[in-house]
Amino acid sequence: MEERYASHPWDNEMQKRIGDLNIAVIGDGLTVDYLVSAMVAFGFGKKGFYVFSDLNKGFLNKLGDPIEVLRKINKVGLWSTYPKEDLPTLKDEIDYIIAVNINDKMKKALKERKLEPNLFVDVSDIGIVSKNGVKNNETNEDASAACVASAVALEYVFREAIQNTPTPPITIYNPFAFDMVGLKNNSLTYEFEDKKTIEDVMLVGNGSMGNFVAINLALTGVKRIVLVDYDTIEERNLNRQILFYDSIGEFKVDALEDRLKKINNNIEIQKIPIRVSQDEEETLEKYVNKKTVLVGSVDSFKARVFLNYFAVKNNLTYIDGGCGVKKVPLFIEINNEVKEFHPWISIGDASIYVPNKSLCLKCAHLDIEDKALAEIPELRLNSCVAERMAEEGVRLPPKPPSVITGNMAIGGIITGEMQVLDEAIKRRIQVSFNSHNYGVIGESLANWITSVRNEGKICEHIDLKKLLVGA
Ligand SMILES: [Zn+2]
């Protein structure tokens, strides 16, 4: 197994199935770029990956020749691309067809060739993933909606093509009224014009979720980004950190700066290659002003507690996103016999703090402090306890890495929500994709993306020290 997939929370068989699937993506636009680059990073296309698209409307063509960029993201992926007029004549070789933003003419052309797409993805200012090509309205493709819809579409491929689990259609409303699934009540959708462009962002954590947040911001007119990440790029990151091809060994802040400059040369980019903690508070404070929106896409609860404190102290709006995987017990009755499964589910959440308007993450009781205290490897790695444990041969279990779909969904939600902050502070969004263990069936789609109501209360922390871990 390739090193980039070796630490995935599923087995070789699953990765092999992903690689063996022959897939075709037909269509145009930013959503194609998101979908195809994520699938290639993930290991799709070892056997065949056909892209019928000009690939000239997204971000890939800004990074270089799109095909070359995709081949850099993963050498094994991608057989070929064609102009979409050369529709596939290779039906027998294709297991699953995804049509993205196709028009009626293209639909007709597909029908004439007896090619029936398995999935339609249509993105304007909302995203629709459907079985019959429900047409969206004709406004421009929104970057955040494209990002989330691509994540959801990729989950469909897992469920339907890898697990043979038929899955009903889904609509993703943007701005992000994530009371959306099945959508009986869409009272939380807003007018497109209500969206605000965020101009000044400090992005802490530049990994997978950070990659998607950064692309969305670069595409939607951010003026300054401060990149904060102490880490360097490793091979095993490349299954989900789509911008870091060709950059193993480099600092994430450096590689991300290079890619963002290519996507949008007008952004002012500053870099701080440090691990965030109270020791670095003064350094970080030099880079924020009262317009700065703080985005946390970090992989430790300790860092999230610190960022919450930092936001309250400096009166900054803070959007916190987190992603991971979790093993959950699941009991399913099969032929009158209850069987127990332990599927890995991909989980994530996004929460927002706006000074004087909402609760901070700690007083919203989001358990971040408890989780920070429970983060034994994180907290004790450099302590004498860890050293003694290591001497005694005790090995702490490695934390399985998050996967690309959760990071794409939360990354898209973060940038969608930051454009509608006044509404967004009323909720906290949770994502749980339960598709990564083939053979497990039955959970409701409504559990994929949910929002938790959080209305009206305001953070009253006066003693800032109480916001730190263990205070
Ligand atoms: Zn508070």
User: Ligand 1 center to residue 173 CA distance, Å?
Assistant: 29
User: Ligand 1 center to residue 242 CA distance, Å?
Assistant: 35
Taking the C-alpha atoms of residue 141 and residue 29, their distance in angstroms, rounded to an integer, is 8
422: β partners: none
Q: What is the four-CA torsion angle of 438, 439, 441, 443, rounded to 10 degrees?
A: -40
- For residue 249, what are the CA distances in angstroms to 246, 293, 358? 9, 29, 40
User: Ligand 1 center to residue 358 CA distance, Å?
Assistant: 8
User: Ligand 1 center to residue 408 CA distance, Å?
Assistant: 28
Q: Which of 16-20, 185-189, 466-470 has the lowest mean pLDDT?
A: 185-189
| For the chain, percent of residues with pLDDT exceeding 90 | 33
Residues 291-303 have pLDDT tens digits of 999 999 998 888 9
Prior bond to 175 cis, omega within 30? Answer: yes
User: Ligand 1 center to residue 314 CA distance, Å?
Assistant: 13
Hey, where are the domains in the chain? Answer: 3-192, 193-467
User: Ligand 1 center to residue 355 CA distance, Å?
Assistant: 9
User: Ligand 1 center to residue 307 CA distance, Å?
Assistant: 12
pLDDT range class, residue 227, cuts 50, 70, 90: very high
Residues 310-348 have pLDDT tens digits of 999 999 999 999 888 777 666 666 677 777 766 677 788
Taking the C-alpha atoms of residue 307 and residue 351, their distance in angstroms, rounded to an integer, is 12
HSE-CB for 225 with a 13 A CA cutoff: 34
pLDDT range class, residue 236, cuts 50, 70, 90: confident
Considering only residues 395 and 56, tell me which one the structure prediction assigns the higher pLDDT.
56
User: Ligand 1 center to residue 318 CA distance, Å?
Assistant: 12
User: Ligand 1 center to residue 461 CA distance, Å?
Assistant: 5
Would the pLDDT of 13 be above 90?
Answer: no
User: Ligand 1 center to residue 457 CA distance, Å?
Assistant: 10
Of the segments 103-112, 324-333, 354-363, 418-427, which one has the largest average pLDDT value?
Answer: 354-363
Would the pLDDT of 267 be above 50?
Answer: yes
Closest C-alpha among 431, 426, 421, 429 to residue 454 = 426
Query: Among the residues of 264-382, which ranges form H helices?
Result: 281-285, 301-314, 368-374, 376-380
User: Ligand 1 center to residue 375 CA distance, Å?
Assistant: 22
The mean pLDDT of the chain is 80
What's 193-467's CATH class?
A: alpha beta
The pLDDT assigned to 89 comes to 64
User: Ligand 1 center to residue 366 CA distance, Å?
Assistant: 11
User: Ligand 1 center to residue 315 CA distance, Å?
Assistant: 12
| For the chain, percent of residues with pLDDT exceeding 70 | 74
The pLDDT assigned to 200 comes to 97
Mean pLDDT value of segment 251-261? 98
pLDDT range class, residue 136, cuts 50, 70, 90: low
CA 210 to chain centre: 8
The pLDDT assigned to 79 comes to 58
User: Ligand 1 center to residue 310 CA distance, Å?
Assistant: 12
Would the pLDDT of 386 be above 60?
Answer: no
Same fold, 3-192 and 193-467: yes
Closest C-alpha among 316, 263, 309 to residue 287 = 316
Taking the C-alpha atoms of residue 70 and residue 47, their distance in angstroms, rounded to an integer, is 15
Q: Which CATH superfamily is domain 3-192 in?
A: NAD(P)-binding Rossmann-like Domain (3.40.50.720)
429: β partners: 350, 451
- One-character DSSP codes across 15-28: HHHHHH-EEEEEE-
Encoded amino acid at 250, one letter:
E
Would the pLDDT of 187 be above 60?
Answer: no
Other C-beta atoms within 10 Å of 266: how many?
Answer: 9
